[in-house]
Structure 1
Amino acid sequence: MTDSVSPSSNAAPRVVTAKTSQLTPWQLLALSWCGFLALVLAIAWLELDFRLADVLYRWQGDDWALREHILLEGWLHRGGRQLSQWLGGLVILALLASHVSPKLLRWRRALWYLFLAVASATFSVAAIKQLVTMECPWDLARYGGKLPFIGLLEARPADLPDTACFPAGHASAGYAWVALYFFFSFTLPRLRWAGLTIGLGLGLLFGVAQQLRGAHFLSHDLWTLMLCWTISVALAGWLLVPEQPIAASLPEGA
């Protein structure tokens, strides 16, 4: 598969791919949400949240012994948040420079997209955490805490304290960067899979670290990923190539 960009040096780079299936942003989102909802239902039916948390809890001696571990709490929790903030700062600097330097002018639209996608994703996850009350594993009596488990759609007793553990806020510091896939698709298509790998890799790393600490269930991270992906796809369809479908590369024969 060969990728190329428009030969014009004055026009914004566009995705030009060979042998790809074209999906509009809304078709891509519809397929993504169908797959995601099927996965979430399977996790709920198989009780994978609890099965995984049970294994992690027992492995740590029936305690969240890694909750304050320097690698997980220091490097991957606090340090991971700082890394995402530094990356965001670099995007802002590049965006500001694109309004000054003619050489960066052709990158301005893509940089605006990346800034808005990452900022919107992290803000949306943080806002939902404040609106939805749900316990962390370490809050639950099942794992040494004091509270019962109340499902996302279950009625919540009025006497229970408010908690903010859903969706996974820290994982959004990584998963928000799945927007790099569309950023590079618009600018340097050969790097688009590397961009997607960075976003998924950081989100997975941060999410696993928090699960090991007892801060989140698996489904909390998956909801965060889906929210970040939804915002990235929707903004890509609006800001990057609104006049043509998004080039979604699918395996040949798919």
Structure 2
Amino acid sequence: MNTQRNRFYSMNVGIPLLLAVFTFVVFDLNELDIALSNLLYDPLTQTFPFQHDRLFENLTHRWPRIIPDWTGELAMAGALLSFVWPRFKADKHPRLIARMEKLRIAGALEFLTRHRRDFLFVVFAFAITTGMVHYFKSHTGIYCPVETTLYGGFQEKKEWFENFNLLHEAGKGRCWPGGHASSGFTLLALYFVALRYRWRHARKLLGWVLLLGMVYGTTRVLQGWHFMSHTFWSGILVWFSMLLTALAFYGRPALQPSPAPLPQHLELQS
């Protein structure tokens, strides 16, 4: 059991912490962010490649919001409807229940009731993560690249740790961590639900969600509205927020893989 627990925390806490240290050292303590943005920035026109491209803005920023938005809204609807079916009693509402079963409504409501905890988890995970992202945005007060003097703006570029204030807002900037990237990473909630049910495609889902968050964040880098490290920090912070919420809802044993069964000859020996 200790081996399973250690492996769980090594994978889900250790690796993200190593990534956080890597991001801090490589990006925050150096000028890699500026170097990458300089490759994209045209000093003659003082613009980034897609900074004023309305179609690109719609394709990569406005319309993709539908995916996390609808996921959250469906989870909220599912959570609310999960309380409906238990209110129907076989001895008090036999005709209504029969009618609902004929229309296949009863089965859907039963499904929602069985998975109430999962719907509530997604709702709370989305809410907690969104609140966490807004907290760090307001308590670091970091400005976006196009708002800094490096790229035609009027604000000084600072690192998040230079400006962080635990209890009070640090300034008017709202660029760290990446908000659009975090909206993609919030779908990590579905990965933890998949872990709970030992879904065999859970790791593929994890890969797709991480890719989606990276795409969301990188497109904003191409527009000059974020540095690349903002996307990495967004993914790291969202991961820990989702992990802690999942542990609170489900507990570690429900999220870690089941131990592999012993071969039959070893079971006989034991």
Corresponding residue to 1:195 among 193, 202, 205: 205
Code of the residue aligned with 2:251 in structure 1: it is V
Code of the residue aligned with 1:217 in structure 2: it is F
In terms of fraction of residues, the more helix-rich structure is 2
Corresponding residue to 1:247 among 256, 260, 268: 256
Contact 1:185 1:191 in 2 (8 A): no
In structure 2, the CA distance between the partners of 1:34 and 1:140, relative to structure 1 (3 Å rule), is: same
Deviations 1:62-102 (A, max 9, x none): 41241232343222212122332112111122223333322
TM-score normalised to structure 2 length: 0.73
Equivalent-residue separation in structure 2 for 1:59 and 1:183 (angstroms): 47
Equivalent-residue separation in structure 2 for 1:123 and 1:89 (angstroms): 17
- Corresponding residue for residue 133 of structure 1: 141
- Corresponding residue for residue 228 of structure 2: 218
- Sequence identity of aligned pairs in percent? 27
Equivalent-residue separation in structure 2 for 1:63 and 1:174 (angstroms): 26
- TM superposition shift of 1:118: 1.9
- Corresponding residue for residue 91 of structure 1: 75
Do residues 184 (structure 1) and 194 (structure 2) align? yes
Q: Which has the larger radius of gyration?
A: 2
Equivalent-residue separation in structure 1 for 2:41 and 2:207 (angstroms): 29
Equivalent-residue separation in structure 1 for 2:184 and 2:195 (angstroms): 19
Contact 2:40 2:49 in 1 (8 A): no
Equivalent-residue separation in structure 2 for 1:23 and 1:104 (angstroms): 34
Contact 1:129 1:167 in 2 (8 A): yes
Code of the residue aligned with 1:214 in structure 2: it is G
Equivalent-residue separation in structure 1 for 2:123 and 2:235 (angstroms): 17
- TM superposition shift of 1:187: 2.5
Contact 1:94 1:111 in 2 (8 A): yes
Helix, strand or coil for the counterpart of 2:41? helix
Deviations 1:92-120 (A, max 9, x none): 22223333322333322222222211221
In structure 2, the CA distance between the partners of 1:33 and 1:168, relative to structure 1 (3 Å rule), is: same
Equivalent-residue separation in structure 1 for 2:203 and 2:44 (angstroms): 36
Code of the residue aligned with 1:149 in structure 2: it is K
- TM superposition shift of 1:30: 4.1
Code of the residue aligned with 1:168 in structure 2: it is G
- TM superposition shift of 1:216: 0.6
- Corresponding residue for residue 80 of structure 1: 64
- TM superposition shift of 1:54: 0.8
Do residues 152 (structure 1) and 160 (structure 2) align? yes
Larger CA deviation: 113-122 vs 99-108: 99-108
Equivalent-residue separation in structure 2 for 1:59 and 1:188 (angstroms): 52
Q: Map of 1:5-154 to 2, 5 A cutoff?
A: 22-23=5-6, 27=10, 28-58=12-42, 62-99=46-83, 100=85, 101-154=109-162
TM-score normalised to structure 1 length: 0.77
Higher RCO, 1 vs 2 (CA within 8 Å, ≥6 residues apart) = 1
In structure 2, the CA distance between the partners of 1:60 and 1:36, relative to structure 1 (3 Å rule), is: farther
| Deviant stretches of 4+, over 4 Å | 20-27, 59-62
Corresponding residue to 1:209 among 212, 219, 226: 219
* Ranges in structure 1 where 5+ consecutive residues have no aligned partner: 1-19, 250-254
Equivalent-residue separation in structure 2 for 1:80 and 1:60 (angstroms): 31
Helix, strand or coil for the counterpart of 1:216? coil
Contact 2:181 2:213 in 1 (8 A): yes
Equivalent-residue separation in structure 2 for 1:231 and 1:224 (angstroms): 11
In structure 2, the CA distance between the partners of 1:32 and 1:42, relative to structure 1 (3 Å rule), is: same
- TM superposition shift of 1:197: 2.6
- Corresponding residue for residue 4 of structure 1: none
RMSD: 2.8
Contact 1:185 1:192 in 2 (8 A): yes
- TM superposition shift of 1:32: 2.0
Contact 2:198 2:257 in 1 (8 A): no
* Ranges in structure 2 where 5+ consecutive residues have no aligned partner: 86-108, 165-169, 259-270
- Count of aligned residue pairs for this structure pair: 226
Larger CA deviation: 188-197 vs 200-209: 188-197
